[in-house]
Amino acid sequence: MTTTTQDPATGTGARTGEAAGLITGARERIDDLDGRIIGLIQERMAVSAVIQRERIASGGRRVHLSREMEIINHYGDQLGRPGTALAMTLLELCRGRI
């Protein structure tokens, strides 16, 4: 009967047990951060829905393009080109496609 012990680095790509432990801990932190980010996005979507509803009810348009450009520029300034793409995705999630 042969028993195999699982290498502690399995699934992490690490070559040592110490590195595997650090990677595993960091991945757990990333998973927690991702959960919080998703929660914040969902909260942002709800707030955006309130804004759109009130804007439309008052006779305004669903989308306020100058405000969207402010958001896109802010994300781009803070995160570079990928930030611009992130802002556009976030805006689409919050207001739908235009």
pLDDT digits (tens, 9 = 90+) for 26-83: 999 999 999 999 999 999 999 999 999 999 999 999 899 999 999 999 999 999 999 9
Q: How far apart (Å, rounded) are the C-alpha atoms in residues 40 and 47? A: 11
pTM above 0.85, yes or no: no
Range 25-35 burial, b when 16+ CB lie within 10 A, else e: eeeeeeeeeee
DSSP single-letter state for residue 1: -
Q: How far apart (Å, rounded) are the C-alpha atoms in residues 85 and 63? A: 18
pLDDT tier, 3 (very low <50, low <70, confident <90, very high otherwise): very low
Q: How far apart (Å, rounded) are the C-alpha atoms in residues 96 and 63? A: 10
Do 83 and 75 form a contact (C-beta atoms < 8 A)?
yes
pLDDT tier, 7 (very low <50, low <70, confident <90, very high otherwise): low
